[in-house]
Structure 1
């Protein structure tokens, strides 16, 4: 999900348009020029999002390339900070094994990352996620430690809720969902929750279940750290509503609270962030039906339906 979010409109607009066509020939050219030992491995298109295209490379690697200028710094954030953060975490992360630079007509940095076998959590039944809720909790407890002053700045994650109030309320006002009024009322009730008074902690930034990989009933990896930043951990803890049902959420919350000691205000802000993130995921249902389903699930959990 992009750091700069689409503007709300009265109808669901088309999603962001790629600014460059990443073809197999382009990927091959980049590999031949910069990593020739990888250039002849099998190359298969795998995933296409608002910000990046991913190609599977051989059996153990993938190539991840931005398709919009606004996303290029996110790849650089991963290249800079994932080697620092990965050792803190109890699950795998896509730490780049090679980095790429502009070339062959392609204008931005790009990465070769490990390929992890598994299924994105968003594509699994919600009830089957509860067994690894505590594993995700442990991951966030490990991640949410004080960040250095030069941590990446992200204006739409981990900031005070008041900074997002007008944008979120506008987006909710224009959502084409039956629960719009109830969501607005819940946002209005939560946005005034006590502000975070602690230090800026490391945040994943985009913790929805399409960025969580599971295998054999366990959390396998946490993906896509492009939105990595520092701030209020409530932003990340919004995943409790995005990812789990009530049972899983209770397990997740109890484990996080035991590990980090967060108070009730933290969870009120986390629910507010869940409202905000659900609104973004519902903005382009035709372009990203899996994310739209995550948004609908979050709405049902927030409203207790």
Structure 2
């Protein structure tokens, strides 16, 4: 029987049933035909993710874009994975093969080394000061990477906050009954005017809990989903402080990052921008992501920095 992802998370996503993925793997990589293929429905929002089980130490991860927008970023994602690999002491994605569009699936896709660990979105990290230090170390190592003359592209998070006015307005309009819209609107009116003064550095760009894998001791072991790696506002990666930590651990993260003044406040603003879109958008299709947005915004409202 054909299996499909349900419910749909995006109106324009394609179906990626497991039997289709089995055919793609078997046709394009016959050496892996005997491996067990298992969907990992909680491991992606714009990709369908499957474990491809092999001999000990050779497990793989199959990632297939659900939308044309995600497929368009595959080349950048491969380049970012190559650029980041070995630049920190934490494991990061390694692309081992690239698949082609095939009958029933219109996009390119990738096979990566499966990294061990427990996704942080399934763990209570609120008081994890050790994780806060680890994550700050990762942020610092990424910031130290050379820019190679690159500058912020001008799209997505990481530039001027006020460019997100329309998106925030839409999110708040759709969040009636889900959030304290009036309080969030008042806070955004202050966030949006924060000036962008710090020079660009390399950032990961999406340090949400689901992109962090923890070891058995609850410390950071690996960082996933590196397609957003590139030059942006150095405050962008600071948004992880509100996604992951309550006050004391958040302060440990701030000190370890050396974040002061305007950069720290803009980090809170970027956490707001990302979180406000998660609550309503994933309310039905991915309750975990919606809950992350709600929790992050509650932390921001409890301790507003503007």
Q: How many residues align?
A: 287
Structure 2 residue aligned with 1:268: 265
Residue 21 of structure 2 corresponds to residue 24 of structure 1: no
The higher-RCO structure (CA 8 Å, 6+ apart) is: 1
Tell me, in whole angstroms, the C-alpha distance in 1 between the residues paired with 2:170 and 2:221: 36
- TM-score for the superposition, normalised by structure 2: 0.86
- TM-score for the superposition, normalised by structure 1: 0.86
Structure 2 residue aligned with 1:62: 61
Tell me, in whole angstroms, the C-alpha distance in 2 between the residues paired with 1:116 and 1:151: 30
Structure 2 residue aligned with 1:253: 254
Structure 1, residues 158-207: CA drift from partner, whole Å, max 9, x if none? Answer: 11112213322342244233422212222222222231341x32222221
Residue 33 of structure 2 corresponds to residue 33 of structure 1: no
Alpha carbons of 1:115 and 1:151: their partners in 2 closer, same or farther (altered >3 Å)? farther
**Structure 1 residue 117 displacement after superposition:** 2.5
Structure 1, residues 198-224: CA drift from partner, whole Å, max 9, x if none? Answer: 1x3222222111111112221111111
Note if contact 1:154-1:229 (Cα within 8 Å) is conserved in structure 2: no
Tell me, in whole angstroms, the C-alpha distance in 1 between the residues paired with 2:104 and 2:170: 39
Structure 2 residue aligned with 1:303: 301
**Structure 1 residue 290 displacement after superposition:** 0.9
Task: Give ranges in structure 2 of 5+ residues lacking alignment.
Answer: 1-7
Alpha carbons of 1:138 and 1:45: their partners in 2 closer, same or farther (altered >3 Å)? same
1:150-229 counterparts in 2 under 5 A?
153=153, 155-176=155-176, 177-198=178-199, 200-216=200-216, 217-229=218-230
**Structure 1 residue 101 displacement after superposition:** 1.9
Note if contact 2:78-2:227 (Cα within 8 Å) is conserved in structure 1: no
Tell me, in whole angstroms, the C-alpha distance in 1 between the residues paired with 2:159 and 2:152: 13
Alpha carbons of 1:16 and 1:33: their partners in 2 closer, same or farther (altered >3 Å)? same
Tell me, in whole angstroms, the C-alpha distance in 2 between the residues paired with 1:295 and 1:253: 21
Note if contact 1:191-1:269 (Cα within 8 Å) is conserved in structure 2: no
Residue 255 of structure 2 corresponds to residue 279 of structure 1: no
1:60-209 counterparts in 2 under 5 A?
60-127=59-126, 129-144=128-143, 145-149=145-149, 153=153, 155-176=155-176, 177-198=178-199, 200-209=200-209
Alpha carbons of 1:153 and 1:73: their partners in 2 closer, same or farther (altered >3 Å)? farther
Structure 1 residue aligned with 2:48: 53
- Indicate the SS of the match to 1:99: strand
RMSD of equivalent CA atoms: 2.2
**Structure 1 residue 151 displacement after superposition:** 7.6
